[in-house]
């Protein structure tokens, strides 16, 4: 097979659809060349070579020749020769995986320079300052990336020279300064490596290629892939590209830009550049870059060309582009383009705008926002009414607000988060080593860097609130504190940052839930028009129901009634009910609870206005409602100390007895669910009465009510038969009393393996199924949901499980059971309505699976409803 693909100068062999083979960067460089956009020529070594190299630790046989041929072609195209003493060809060696991994792989620039060719470059360009600037950059980059010498060591040399020559900016360095830096840098290489800086360009090239491939497996790259679910066997490509120079003087420069604002989505060219600079200078935050629009005055011709190219690229790729460019003595070159990372608000606005501009259709628009971005949109913001002490302001790099304790290193971030703290990572600037720490932090604050700095790009990608370039901060790494003026903030002090405004605030500021933007409404409406899977919500109270409706829920898929028992003003009655020794006694207390439950249901029904409401009968073990034994014992001791009458103490003693009596060894598999309804039918009857009375009363007011009554934890069809008969009798009684007919149904949860295996029998009795995937996961794995924290993390680390099955539905086991349940259920009850309730109903992967299974709906918590609407639509595309 072919391992090397050339691009540029009329000999482009790749195209953008070849990204798996050429990596994102290489494929798009080829595509730009194909579009006639000025790209410095070069060639791409495929990802396949990387995979082979990493597997066998050697290259395929033909590779050497292919690379040499490609170099020859490149020499022809540029009219320069690698290592030439008079006019050397210099190249960059750049990594590029299938999908962009910001900052993961390092680039080496100006490769091909040595003690002789630097003189040639200097004479050829008549610019020795430039030539030696290139050389000192090359040695430090090569030293760092290829030879593994700490970059710091080279930076020290630079800083020392600047101090010595009493200058502050890199651009002020004289030729002699630069020559001195070159010499010192070479000494460092000799000292650190025990060999001289390699002078043969070809050797430099092959060493750099090795280094790029090796960098695929550096720790930071591995961590990034793990966090982002990128397969390890994809590998990276290597791009070797002839250099263009942004450091040739005042009409040269380099920059990065987005075709639209990646933070807000506004359709305006957005970016930064530096005059007389090279490569990463802009992103590295070495000098403060200028805003892109000022380039129009600075180098007008190149600016206009740049704007035109951006338009062309957007039209071609039909998406917002993130570009890198360099201007060499007034002439523009494009060095990279890719679909730009963006914040959630920007993603939404851009998708909707592009439909309106006729660039994409609605189905495509719906795929342009990820579930986690929708999630971000629903993230908290700072309560504008709360008092807040803004102590500093940086750039608003990634929106959303975050509150946490200050930490200064990634290790500390991970350490404290493990201890259960929420932290904000505060750094001078972040680097790829900080990915792990950023991932666990609530937000990130940096002193240096612009809107395209590492922290900003990664923060936006992760959806982490992020404030960068906050220059007022004075960090002392040793003292573990930072100062803003005379205010000192120590490690583990609370701060709040607002990534939408750039504000840094002392202490913990209250956050509020965000509003849904008009664009997101539009996008979700489009999603509704595409999806077939229904989306309901889990809600136990009117406020949640209302919120869910606003967020687009089509009904309630799970209304848990136990939460209604916990309310402060009723827990006494509930406890008395549970404490009752006889049925008669129990009924007296149930009568007290009845009106309260009825009122709950009335309110929820009112909010839902004719939309289906699935109500689950009491499910948890009764002892959950009782006080803890040690709490009662404390109380008894208190009473004894106060000298309270023995009668009162005896009463509490009997409570203890009852609690002990109700104690179960395995409550999750114990006296709960429909087992309660069968042993204490009066409890379920009270609930039926509350529901149907509420429905009747509302019906008389002209409000339509559609209750779906759901029996939990059925494992045997007889359990459903018995409870259902009770439900129907009580319902009939109530409807007769009110002389109203209510259109209700009785169905069941399917959450036990036995229910699944006998779903054909159960379906004859049931009017709907709701898969309770939490319990079904517990009972299928035999994992106690409350105890899994002890081993699941290890299971995931060791690769025994890919995900926590309580978060992401286990398709192979639980999912297969569901398939059986669905098939059997619909066999005896064609068209039986089925859904999922439980945490999985709001989890993207599980929603896609629910859609595949042909379920009628998913039900999830209110704030997951928009995610479910979007994913359900994406699942069909
Ligand atoms: P990253 O993937 O980290 O963005 P790149 O390979 O894009 O790394 O290289 C970083 C920067 O180096 C580019 O943005 C560009 O400014 C500079 N660069 C890379 N190749 C060249 C080249 N051939 N000529 C001039 N500058 C280059
Ligand atoms: Mg780049
Ligand atoms: Mg359950």
Give the integer Cα–Cα distance in Å for 90 and 97.
Answer: 23
pLDDT confidence of residue 616: 97
Q: What is the DSSP letter of 669?
A: G
CA of residue 535 to ligand 1 center, whole Å: 46
Does the C-beta of 247 come closer than 6 Å to ligand 1?
no
Does the C-beta of 109 come closer than 6 Å to ligand 1?
yes
Dihedral sign (CA 641, 642, 643, 649): negative
CB-based neighbours (< 5 A) of ligand 2, an ion: 324, 336
CA of residue 94 to ligand 1 center, whole Å: 7
**Which ligand lies nearest the alpha carbon of 770?**
3
The distance of Cα 738 from the centroid of its chain, to the nearest Å, equals: 52
Record the tokens describing residue 210, joined without a space: 């090795």
Long-range contacts of 588-594 (CB under 8 A, 24+ apart): 590/682, 590/683, 590/686, 591/686, 593/565, 593/686, 594/686, 594/689, 594/690
**Partners of residue 274 on adjacent β-strands:** 254
CA of residue 336 to ligand 2 center, whole Å: 6
Query: Which ligand 1 atom minimizes the distance to the CA of 40?
Result: 23
pLDDT confidence of residue 461: 64
Q: What is the CATH number of domain 531-621+664-874?
A: 3.20.20.60
Reduced to 3 states (helix: H, G, I; strand: E, B; else coil), residue 213 is helix
Architecture of domain 74-242: Up-down Bundle (1.20)
Does the C-beta of 113 come closer than 6 Å to ligand 1?
no
Query: Which ligand 1 atom minimizes the distance to the CA of 103?
Result: 3
Give the integer Cα–Cα distance in Å for 522 and 530.
Answer: 13
**Which ligand lies nearest the alpha carbon of 325?**
1
Reduced to 3 states (helix: H, G, I; strand: E, B; else coil), residue 242 is strand
Give the integer Cα–Cα distance in Å for 489 and 497.
Answer: 14
Give the integer Cα–Cα distance in Å for 560 and 14.
Answer: 58
Give the integer Cα–Cα distance in Å for 426 and 445.
Answer: 5
Reduced to 3 states (helix: H, G, I; strand: E, B; else coil), residue 465 is coil
Query: Which ligand 1 atom minimizes the distance to the CA of 96?
Result: 2
**Which ligand lies nearest the alpha carbon of 280?**
1
Q: Whose CA is closest to 592, among 608, 579, 577, 613?
A: 577
CA of residue 751 to ligand 3 center, whole Å: 6
Does the C-beta of 586 come closer than 6 Å to ligand 1?
no
Nearest CA to ligand 1 atom 1: 103
pLDDT confidence of residue 501: 83
Helix (H) or strand (E) run with residue 239 in it? strand 236-242
ipTM confidence score: 0.96
CA of residue 412 to ligand 2 center, whole Å: 30
**Catalytic site residue from 503, 674, 696, 837:** 837
Contact 499, 465 (CB under 8 A): yes
Query: Which ligand 1 atom minimizes the distance to the CA of 336?
Result: 7
Q: Among all chains, which residue has been given the structure tokens 């072609």?
A: 73
Does the C-beta of 336 come closer than 6 Å to ligand 1?
yes
Rounded to 10 degrees, the C-alpha dihedral 659/665/668/673 comes to: -50
**Partners of residue 614 on adjacent β-strands:** 708
Q: Is 716 a catalytic residue?
A: no
Give the integer Cα–Cα distance in Å for 165 and 805.
Answer: 62
Reduced to 3 states (helix: H, G, I; strand: E, B; else coil), residue 157 is helix
**Partners of residue 236 on adjacent β-strands:** 97
Nearest CA to ligand 1 atom 24: 243
Main-chain dihedrals φ then ψ at residue 57, nearest 5 degrees? 60, 25
**In Å, what is the CA distance from 796 to each residue of 217, 418, 744, 800?**
21, 16, 44, 6
For domain 379-512, which CATH number applies: 2.60.40.10, 1.10.10.10, 3.50.30.10, 3.40.190.10? 3.50.30.10
Does the C-beta of 452 come closer than 6 Å to ligand 1?
no
**Partners of residue 446 on adjacent β-strands:** 427
Does the C-beta of 28 come closer than 6 Å to ligand 1?
no
Does the C-beta of 254 come closer than 6 Å to ligand 1?
yes
pLDDT confidence of residue 389: 84
Best substitution site from 336, 432, 458, 461 to test ligand 1's pocket, by max atoms within 8 Å of Cβ? 336
pLDDT along the chain (877 residues), means of 10: 94 96 96 97 97 91 95 96 94 91 75 96 94 96 93 93 91 94 97 97 95 86 80 93 94 96 93 90 76 95 97 97 96 96 91 97 96 80 83 86 95 93 93 85 90 77 83 89 93 93 92 84 97 95 92 96 79 87 91 94 96 96 84 90 90 87 88 95 97 97 96 98 98 98 97 98 98 95 83 83 90 98 98 92 95 97 91 96
Question: Mean pLDDT in the chain?
Answer: 92
Q: What is the CATH number of domain 253-339?
A: 3.30.470.20
Nearest CA to ligand 1 atom 8: 107
Does the C-beta of 589 come closer than 6 Å to ligand 1?
no
CA of residue 283 to ligand 2 center, whole Å: 10
Nearest CA to ligand 1 atom 13: 279
Contact 817, 780 (CB under 8 A): yes
Q: Is 696 a catalytic residue?
A: no
Buried b (16+ CB within 10 A) or exposed e, 534-556: bbbbbbbbbebbbbbbebbbbbb
Give the integer Cα–Cα distance in Å for 877 and 874.
Answer: 5
pLDDT confidence of residue 102: 56
pLDDT confidence of residue 104: 56
pLDDT confidence of residue 311: 96
Contact 170, 280 (CB under 8 A): no
Give the integer Cα–Cα distance in Å for 458 and 460.
Answer: 5
Contact 398, 465 (CB under 8 A): yes
Does the C-beta of 92 come closer than 6 Å to ligand 1?
yes
CA of residue 172 to ligand 1 center, whole Å: 23
**Which ligand lies nearest the alpha carbon of 338?**
2
Question: Domain map of the chain by residue range?
Answer: 74-242, 253-339, 379-512, 531-621+664-874
Give the integer Cα–Cα distance in Å for 801 and 186.
Answer: 49
Does the C-beta of 106 come closer than 6 Å to ligand 1?
no
Give the integer Cα–Cα distance in Å for 770 and 747.
Answer: 8
**Which ligand lies nearest the alpha carbon of 92?**
1
CA of residue 837 to ligand 3 center, whole Å: 9
Record the tokens describing residue 790, joined without a space: 């002890």
**Catalytic site residue from 134, 310, 379, 454:** 454
Rounded to 10 degrees, the C-alpha dihedral 631/633/639/645 comes to: 130
Does the C-beta of 723 come closer than 6 Å to ligand 1?
no
CA of residue 714 to ligand 3 center, whole Å: 10
């Amino acid at each position: 097979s072919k391992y090397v693909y050339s691009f540029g100068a009329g000999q482009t062999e790749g195209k953008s659809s070849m990204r798996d083979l050429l990596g994102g960067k290489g494929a798009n460089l080829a595509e730009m060349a194909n579009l006639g956009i000025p790209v410095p020529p070069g060639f791409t070594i495929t990802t396949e070579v990387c995979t082979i190299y990493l597997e066998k630790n050697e290259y395929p046989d033909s590779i050497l020749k292919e690379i040499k041929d490609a170099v020859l072609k490149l020499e022809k195209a540029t009219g320069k020769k690698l290592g030439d003493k008079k006019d050397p060809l210099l190249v960059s060696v750049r990594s590029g995986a299938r999908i962009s991994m910001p900052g993961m792989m390092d680039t080496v620039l100006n490769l091909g320079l040595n003690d002789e060719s630097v003189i040639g470059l200097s004479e050829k360009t008549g610019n020795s300052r430039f030539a030696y600037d290139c050389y000192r950059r090359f040695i430090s980059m090569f030293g760092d990336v290829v030879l593994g010498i700490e970059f710091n060591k080279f930076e020290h040399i630079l800083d020392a020279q600047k101090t010595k020559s009493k200058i502050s900016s890199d651009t002020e360095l004289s030729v002699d300064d630069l020559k001195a830096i070159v010499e010192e840098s070479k000494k460092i290489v000799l000292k650190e490596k025990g060999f001289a800086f390699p002078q043969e360009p070809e050797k430099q090239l092959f060493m750099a290629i090795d280094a790029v491939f090796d960098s695929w497996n550096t720790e930071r790259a591995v961590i990034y892939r793990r966090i982002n679910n990128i397969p390890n066997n994809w590998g990276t490509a290597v791009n070797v590209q002839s250099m263009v120079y942004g450091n040739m003087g005042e009409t040269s420069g380099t920059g990065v830009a987005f075709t639209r604002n990646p933070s807000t989505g506004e359709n305006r060219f957005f970016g930064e550049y530096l005059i007389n600079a090279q490569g990463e200078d802009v992103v590295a935050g070495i000098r403060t870059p200028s805003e892109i629009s000022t380039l129009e005055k600075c180098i007008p011709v190149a600016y206009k060309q740049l704007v035109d190219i951006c338009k062309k690229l957007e039209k071609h790729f039909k998406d917002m582009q993130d570009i890198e460019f360099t201007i060499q003595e007034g002439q523009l070159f494009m060095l990279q383009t890719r679909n730009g990372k963006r914040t959630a608000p920007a993603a939404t606005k851009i998708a909707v705008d592009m439909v309106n501009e006729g660039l994409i259709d609605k189905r495509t628009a719906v795929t342009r926002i990820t579930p986690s971005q929708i999630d971000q949109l629903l993230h908290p913001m700072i309560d504008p009414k709360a008092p807040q002490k803004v102590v500093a302001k940086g750039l608003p790099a990634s929106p959303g607000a975050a509150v946490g304790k200050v930490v200064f290193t990634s290790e500390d971030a991970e350490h404290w988060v493990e201890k259960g703290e929420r932290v904000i990572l505060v750094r001078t600037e972040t680097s790829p080593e900080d990915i792990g720490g950023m991932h666990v932090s609530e937000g990130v604050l940096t002193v240096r860097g612009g809107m395209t700095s590492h922290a900003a790009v990664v923060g936006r990608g992760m959806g982490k609130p992020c404030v960068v370039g906050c220059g007022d901060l004075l960090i002392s790494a040793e003292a573990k504190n930072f100062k803003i003026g005379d205010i000192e903030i120590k490690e583990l002090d609370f701060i709040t940052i607002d990534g939408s405004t750039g504000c840094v605030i002392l202490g913990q500021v209250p956050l509020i839930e965000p509003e849904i933007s008009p664009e997101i409404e539009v996008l979700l409406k489009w999603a509704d028009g595409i999806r077939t899977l229904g989306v309901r919500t889990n809600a136990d109270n009117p406020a949640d129901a209302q919120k869910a409706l606003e967020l687009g829920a089509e009904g309630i898929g799970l209304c848990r009634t136990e939460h209604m028992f916990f309310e402060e003003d009723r827990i006494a009655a509930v406890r008395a009910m549970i404490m009752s020794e006889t049925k008669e006694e129990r009924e007296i207390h149930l009568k007290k609870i009845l009106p309260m439950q009825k009122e709950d249901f009335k309110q929820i029904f009112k909010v839902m206005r004719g939309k289906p409401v699935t109500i689950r009968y009491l499910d948890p073990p009764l002892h959950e409602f009782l006080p803890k034994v040690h709490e009662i014992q404390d109380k008894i001791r208190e009473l004894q100390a106060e000298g309270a009458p023995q009668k009162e103490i005896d009463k509490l003693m009997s409570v203890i007895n009852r609690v002990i009596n109700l104690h179960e060894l395995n409550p999750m598999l114990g006296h709960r669910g429909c087992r309660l309804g069968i042993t204490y039918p009066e409890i379920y009857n009270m609930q039926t009465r509350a529901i149907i009375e509420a429905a009747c009363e509302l019906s008389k007011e002209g409000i339509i009510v559609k209750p779906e009554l759901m029996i939990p934890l059925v494992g045997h069809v007889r359990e459903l038969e018995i409870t259902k008969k009770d439900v129907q009798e009580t319902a009939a009684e109530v409807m007769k009393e009110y002389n109203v007919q209510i259109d209700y149904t009785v169905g069941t949860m399917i959450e036990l393996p036995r229910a699944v295996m006998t779903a054909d029998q159960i379906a004859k009795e049931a009017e709907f199924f709701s898969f309770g995937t939490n319990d079904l996961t517990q009972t299928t794995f035999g994992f106690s949901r409350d105890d899994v924290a002890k081993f699941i993390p290890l299971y995931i680390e060791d690769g025994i499980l890919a995900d926590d099955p309580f978060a992401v539905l286990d398709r192979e086991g639980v999912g297969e059971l569901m398939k059986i349940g669905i098939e059997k259920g619909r066999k005896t009850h064609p068209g039986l309505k089925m859904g999922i309730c439980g945490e999985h109903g709001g989890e993207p992967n599980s929603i896609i699976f629910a859609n595949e299974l042909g379920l009628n709906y998913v039900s999830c918590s209110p704030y997951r409803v928009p995610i479910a609407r979007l994913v359900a639509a994406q699942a069909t595309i």
